[in-house]
A and B are shown apart, each in its own frame.
Chain A
Amino acid sequence: MVADTSAPTSKPSIGDYLKNNIREYGLLVALVVIMVFFQILTNGVLFRPVNITNLVLQNSFIVIMALGMLLIIVAGHIDLSVGSIVAFIGAISAIMLVKWGLPAIIVVPACLIVGGILGAAQGYWVAYQKIPAFIVTLAGMLVFRGMTYVVLGGRPIGPFPKEFQVLSTGFVPDFLSFLNPAPETIKNMVALVAVILLVALAIWSGFRSRRINEMHGTENEPFVFFAGQMAVIAIVALFIGFQLSTYRGLPNVLVVMGVLIALYSFVTTRSTVGRRIYAMGGNEKAAKLSGINTERLTFYTFANMGVLAALAGMIITARLNSATPKAGVGFELDVIAACFIGGASASGGVGKITGAVIGAFIMGVMNNGMSIMGIGIDYQQLIKGLVLLAAVFFDVYNKNKG
């Protein structure tokens, strides 16, 4: 994020800078405000170690799918089928693990491959036959849901073997307990050490990239913002890390999610593939005439979404410990909403991984907070809908004003 300075060479004032980047800081601020808001309303339940763990477990699959969905939306498409892919993958994993007794080590990669094939099958129609993604994936949504019913015979299958369940309910074992200075409060040293190392790494790399920018004469964001942003991220991360360490440590899912977020951030901001997806979403014809194989790129973007939806499907199935035909209903909407709250543009070409992740967490914290407060699912939906509208309005308003 730091390397992506969109600052002009003439020195901008801090006010200008804030105006130009209000979306990014605004989103982060909104997440923090929403967290504090619910922390107060729930009398401190929100940030309890057990609840933070729950938050991660409940939202991991939305975040994971949002990574793929962001690429799809940036490319100028949409994928409505992910909820059904989640259910279908859950179903076939249940058949393979429970009915056939295959080991997880085979089933997990097999499911990822199947997910990739489902995504690619849709990508083929979108990319090469030029059928609008809305229609293709609407068809996919129905087809995969139907296939789920067929595979499961309409009945849930479970429970799953332990080795599969750890995927979503397991925690990183505490192999650093010998370092633990206060075993009374800190139950898991790995979580604490990992978070401290990550925060240190983030700060170090932030400073490093500023230094490199200076060396090459590239403009940096004002130091106040850099420092402010770093401080907020560090405080939140350290706090959450500490809370987790007093409970059962780092959930496996959190690690998977973290690695994927880092990977997709890197791909979108630094890789040629990422750059090409943005160019294609911004102007497909120009991208094609620039020598970009837009068909193949679209095809792979959908295949990638299929793989991530498959991963999410396994995480959910393992968490519920049962594959049901109704799993994942409506997930596609949560995932798409996360991307739009995170600042992606419905017409393509615009959007950030960090935005989608924060968007997913805004939704997640609201879900969780409102559930703790005992607000019914009816009002939850209503409020979430309004938040989505407000976030997108904020974007449009900013754009028109600037």
Chain B
Amino acid sequence: MDNIILEMRSITKTFPGVKALDDVSFKVREGEIHALVGENGAGKSTLMKVLSGVYPAGTYEGEIHYDGELRRFSTIADSEHLGIIIIHQELALVPLLSIAENIFLGNEIATNGVIHWPQTFARTQELLKKVGLTESPATLITDIGVGKQQLVEIAKALSKKVRLLILDEPTASLNEKDSEALLKLLMEFRAQGMTSIIISHKLNEIKKVADKITILRDGGTVETLDCHKEDISEDRIIKGMVGRDMEDRYPPREPKIGENLLEVKNWNVFHQHHRDRQFLHDIHFNVRAGEVVGIAGLMGAGRTETAMSIFGKSWGHKITGEVSMRGKPVDVSTIPKAIDAGLAYVTEDRKHLGLVLMNNIKQNTTLSNLEDVSKNGIIDDHKETKVATDYRSKLRIRSHSIYQETVNLSGGNQQKVVLSKWLFTNPEVLILDEPTRGIDVGAKFEIYTIINQLAAEGKGILMISSEMPELLGTCDRIYVMNEGRIVAELSKEEASQESIMRAIMRSGEKH
């Protein structure tokens, strides 16, 4: 067990103008689960890209020793050949091909280019069994959920005789049940002697499975913690990541709750694609001025769909029900009308639905409200510049200027640009859908601070989140959703992880 399988020594990698990795050293023992943590931009992904040969030998300084030998990988194929396999956050599966085809893609069992299907299927079945899947190898990827797709990726890695499995944020888009299953699988692999490196923001999961934790900060190694020698708390890890104590992860707020702003009643929505299936049933809720209201629920409960169907009917069809603002019914049948009614929806998927990534901060900031920086359809460049500059400093968007393309910003800063865009429409109620997903601890704190400021200004906040501690830490009131219904409304005092889960479980029994 004391065999060191991988040692990266003094790795330094520079991009034009930025030192992404600065003298990083990283050591992994055979058969352990080694967690790699750090804020976004700390250099975790870059380090893994150096390891796997995405950045070929010669483009970085330092040495990689794998299996006791100095290695110089010039392509990904080189590292895969030695059993180093990365599974990226964005899964690399072809949706319209079968599980079997995906697993052996580029590595087909074939003679002279003719695929041997029976053997392929048999091998796939074996691999699927190892990862605990019972699906037929002929099932199309698009027909299985994200959790199972993740397992298919792992099966694919197993097919390549993996020795060192690297998982980049494997549970980011999984619900708790699937995450649990995945972590269990990793522990089984460990028992069989496989080594894994896991990159994750979910510290509770890391605590559960990791033998060692290496913390990176600003492109340098901070420390490696041994989970077997001492009991490591989440706060201890966070301290290492941000370089200071995080006494309070959620900034305090004195709620000053005013009149009723948004009220939704009898909201019924049918599924966007399966058009005869009712997806949301009799949704009702309200948000008052200065109030932060949470919506908790498991993935697929219908939270995002509720928000989007209200926001200009951007999801679903056959939508019926009433929406009112300050007691007066409003028309939210199109997105422009919903914006006029004082609503803003900050999406959970900022890269695909929130930002025009190839455009800069300035252009993204004003996109929803070009009217206010233009006259007769002509944009006032200086007014626009001023607006973007103001939001950049107000929300502390870290970038070299407002002309930086948003694709080059970190997750937290991208989220702040999306927030700027919606704040500039001057909404009364902001719907924030997973506002801190995939962003690091420091930026999360800043987002919470912004939420508090908005509430203090008298805006109503509706916050959807899968992270229960976040809801409990920020909300004045929490609705619980399950299977397209609101199943509970909990006051701050009543709300706890247990009471939320209880509400979900109990409603599941009823139906």
| A interface residue numbers (CB < 8 A to B) | 3, 5-10, 212, 216, 218-219, 270-273, 275-276, 278-279, 282-283, 285-293, 349-350
The residues in B between 420 and 448 inclusive whose CB is less than 8 angstroms from any CB of A are 421, 425
Q: B424 to chain A: closest CB distance in Å?
A: 11
Chain A residues with CB below 8 A from B403, complex form: 5-8
Known interface pairs A9-B401, A218-B385; A278-B359 also in contact (CB < 8 Å): yes
Segment of B240-248, B368-376, B475-483, B486-494 in the binding face: B368-376
Whether A291 pairs with B355 at a CB distance below 8 angstroms is no
Q: A301 to chain B: closest CB distance in Å?
A: 15
A282→B358 CA distance, assembly (Å): 6
Whether B336 pairs with A286 at a CB distance below 8 angstroms is no
A289→B310 CA distance, assembly (Å): 12
- Kindly identify which residue among B314, B357, B359 contacts A289, using a CB–CB cutoff of 8 Å: B314
Q: B335 to chain A: closest CB distance in Å?
A: 5
- Kindly identify which residue among B347, B360, B378 contacts A270, using a CB–CB cutoff of 8 Å: B378
- Kindly identify which residue among A3, A5, A350 contacts B358, using a CB–CB cutoff of 8 Å: A350
A251→B480 CA distance, assembly (Å): 72
User: Counting CB contacts under 8 A, is B330 at the interface?
Assistant: no
Q: Residues 322-337 of chain B: 1 if any A CB is under 8 Å from the residue's CB, otherwise 0?
A: 0000000000001110
Whether B363 pairs with A275 at a CB distance below 8 angstroms is yes
Whether A271 pairs with B378 at a CB distance below 8 angstroms is yes
Whether A291 pairs with B400 at a CB distance below 8 angstroms is no
Chain A residues with CB below 8 A from B368, complex form: 290-291
Of residues A219, A278, A283, A291, which shows the largest number of chain B Cβ atoms within 10 Å of its Cβ?
A291
- Kindly identify which residue among A6, A212, A216, A349 contacts B356, using a CB–CB cutoff of 8 Å: A349
A290→B403 CA distance, assembly (Å): 20
The number of A-B residue pairs with CB atoms under 8 Å apart is 93
15 contacts between A and B (CB under 8 A): A5-B403, A270-B378, A271-B379, A272-B371, A273-B377, A275-B363, A279-B367, A283-B352, A283-B355, A283-B358, A286-B356, A289-B347, A291-B336, A291-B339, A349-B359
Whether B421 pairs with A270 at a CB distance below 8 angstroms is no
User: Counting CB contacts under 8 A, is B342 at the interface?
Assistant: no
Whether A349 pairs with B382 at a CB distance below 8 angstroms is no
Known interface pairs A286-B353, A291-B336, A291-B339; A279-B363 also in contact (CB < 8 Å): yes
A280→B84 CA distance, assembly (Å): 40
User: Counting CB contacts under 8 A, is B66 at the interface?
Assistant: no
Chain A residues with CB below 8 A from B2, complex form: none
A271→B381 CA distance, assembly (Å): 10
Q: B109 to chain A: closest CB distance in Å?
A: 34
Known: A272-B377, A282-B357. 13 other contacts (CB 8 A): A216-B382, A216-B385, A218-B382, A271-B377, A272-B371, A275-B379, A278-B356, A282-B359, A283-B356, A289-B345, A291-B368, A292-B367, A350-B358
**Taking CB as reference atom, which chain B residue is nearest A209?**
B381
Q: B161 to chain A: closest CB distance in Å?
A: 32
Q: B433 to chain A: closest CB distance in Å?
A: 11
Chain B residues with CB below 8 A from A273, complex form: 377
**Taking CB as reference atom, which chain A residue is nearest B311?**
A289
Chain B residues with CB below 8 A from A10, complex form: 400-401
**Taking CB as reference atom, which chain B residue is nearest A19?**
B16
- In this complex, how many residues of chain B approach chain A with their Cβ under 8 Å: the count is 38
A279→B406 CA distance, assembly (Å): 13
Of residues B311, B338, B345, B381, which shows the largest number of chain A Cβ atoms within 10 Å of its Cβ?
B381
Chain B residues with CB below 8 A from A7, complex form: 401, 403
Whether A282 pairs with B356 at a CB distance below 8 angstroms is yes
**Taking CB as reference atom, which chain A residue is nearest B340?**
A291
A6→B363 CA distance, assembly (Å): 12
Whether A276 pairs with B370 at a CB distance below 8 angstroms is yes
User: Counting CB contacts under 8 A, is B354 at the interface?
Assistant: yes
Of residues A271, A272, A292, which shows the largest number of chain B Cβ atoms within 10 Å of its Cβ?
A272
Whether A279 pairs with B335 at a CB distance below 8 angstroms is no
- Kindly identify which residue among A212, A278, A288 contacts B314, using a CB–CB cutoff of 8 Å: A288
Chain B residues with CB below 8 A from A9, complex form: 400-401
Of residues A216, A273, A279, A286, which shows the largest number of chain B Cβ atoms within 10 Å of its Cβ?
A286
Q: A375 to chain B: closest CB distance in Å?
A: 39
Chain B residues with CB below 8 A from A271, complex form: 374, 377-379
Interchain residue pairs A-B with the least CB separation, the first 4: A282-B356, A272-B370, A290-B368, A9-B401
A389→B378 CA distance, assembly (Å): 36
Whether B345 pairs with A283 at a CB distance below 8 angstroms is no
User: Counting CB contacts under 8 A, is B139 at the interface?
Assistant: no
Known interface pairs A8-B404, A10-B400, A293-B336; A285-B363 also in contact (CB < 8 Å): no
A287→B370 CA distance, assembly (Å): 12
Chain A residues with CB below 8 A from B357, complex form: 282-283
Chain B residues with CB below 8 A from A270, complex form: 378-379, 381
Chain B residues with CB below 8 A from A349, complex form: 356, 358-359
Chain B residues with CB below 8 A from A291, complex form: 312, 335-336, 338-339, 368, 425
A286→B418 CA distance, assembly (Å): 10
**Taking CB as reference atom, which chain B residue is nearest A348?**
B358
A272→B312 CA distance, assembly (Å): 21
Whether A8 pairs with B401 at a CB distance below 8 angstroms is yes
Whether A290 pairs with B367 at a CB distance below 8 angstroms is yes
Chain A residues with CB below 8 A from B425, complex form: 291
- Kindly identify which residue among B355, B374, B379, B382 contacts A286, using a CB–CB cutoff of 8 Å: B355
Known interface pairs A275-B363, A291-B336; A3-B356 also in contact (CB < 8 Å): no
